[in-house]
Copies of this chain bind each other. A is one copy, B any other.
Amino acid sequence: MPTTPDLSQSPLGVFDSGVGGLTVVRALRELLPQESIIYLGDTARVPYGSKSPDTIRRFSVEDTQFLINHGVKAVVVACNTATAHALPLLQSTFRVPVIGVIEPGVEATLADGQAERVGIIGTAGTIRSSAYQYALAMRRPGLQIHAAATPLLVPFIEEGWIDQPALKLVLSEYLDPLLEKGIDTLMLGCTHYPLLMPVLEKMLGKKVRLVDSASTCAAHTRLVLEQEGLLRRSQGQTTLDIYLTDLSEQAEAMARRFLGTQFGRVKKAAL
C-alpha cells in the first residue's frame, strides 16, 4: 500500500500579476517563517487590473496550474483583481486550498464591530468587480460602503515616487470624496498599497483605520493551513523561489522593494 505523502512539507504557492504580491510573501514569511514559498509574478502580462474578467480568469488558471505543477500544497492569490474575478473558478477547478486576498481584509475590517462607513480603493478591475462591496454588504447589511478606483497609484509606487508632491495631489484627488463621506476605515484593495502606509498614515491621521490586504491575507493563510493540517511543523531550512514570466532589472529592483529584503536568482517562467 502506498503511503500518503506528507503534504505539509510541500511549499506554499503564491501568485500575482506582477511583483506587488511580494508584500503578501513578506507578511507570510513574518507570520509563517517555517514555510517554503514558490512565488509566480506574471510580469509579462502585468497589469491585470485594467483587463476584462475573461482574460483575468484565463491568466489566473494558467498561473495556478504553474504553481501546482511545482508541487505546492496550497495557493495564495496575492492579487486583488485575480481574487475578485477568478477565486471561485480556481477553487472549483483545483484540489488544493486556494486562498484569496479579499475575504481576509473584509473579516479584519468587520472584526471589532466598529466600522460604520468603509472606503475601498483598488484597481479599476477590482472596484468594478464589486467583490469587496458585495462581501462587506453580505456580512453587514446597512454598512455604508464607498469604493473608488485609483489606477494611478500602482504606477506611482512602481516609479518609486512615494514622497513626491504629485503623489499627494493624486491621493487627495482620489481620497477627498471618500473623506467627505466620513469614512472611518479605508481598505487598501491592492497588494501594492502597503508601500503607501506611511504617507497615508500621515495624510489621514488617527481618524481613519487602514486595513491592508497583505497582512490580513497572511493571517488567514495560517488559519487555513492549520485547519487543513498543512502547517509545516519541522524547523528545517526554508526556501523562497521567485519565478517571473518576464525578467528585467526594473522588475527585480521593484521586487526587492516589495519584499523588503534581498533574494536569490529570479527564474524565468514560460507561461
Seen from chain A, the residues whose Cβ lies within 8 Å of a Cβ on chain B are 43-46, 50-52, 55, 124, 151-152, 154-156, 158-159, 161, 164-166, 169-170, 173, 246-248, 250-251
Provide the bound-state CA to CA distance between A124 and B52, in Å: 25
B164 touches A173 (CB 8 A): yes
Enumerate chain B residues within 8 angstroms of A248, measured Cβ to Cβ: 50-52
Q: How many copies does the complex hold?
A: 2
Q: List 21 A-B contacts (CB under 8 A).
A: A44-B51, A45-B45, A46-B50, A50-B248, A50-B250, A50-B251, A51-B246, A51-B248, A52-B247, A52-B248, A55-B246, A151-B158, A152-B152, A152-B155, A152-B156, A152-B159, A152-B161, A154-B155, A164-B169, A166-B169, A169-B169
6 A-B pairs closest in CB distance: A166-B169, A155-B155, A52-B248, A55-B246, A166-B170, A51-B246
Q: Which chain B residue lies CB-closest to A170? A: B166
List of B residues within 8 angstroms of A124 by Cβ:
250
Q: Which residue of B lies closest to A165 (CB)?
A: B169
Q: Chain B residue with minimal CB distance to A161?
A: B152
User: Cβ of A51 and Cβ of B55 under 8 Å apart?
Assistant: no
B-side contacts of A250, CB under 8 Å: 50, 124
- Specify the chain B residue showing the minimal Cβ separation from A171: B166
Residue from the list B55, B151, B166, B251 in contact with A173, Cβ < 8 A: B166
Distance between A177 CB and nearest chain B CB, rounded to angstroms? 14
Complex Cα spacing A156 to B151, Å: 9
Using Cβ atoms and an 8 Å threshold, which residues of chain B touch A173?
164, 166
State in angstroms the CA–CA spacing of A246 and B46 once bound together: 13
CB distance from A34 to the nearest CB of B (A): 34
Contact yes or no, B52 A246, CB < 8 A: yes
What CA separation (Å) do A158 and B51 show in the bound complex?
Answer: 13
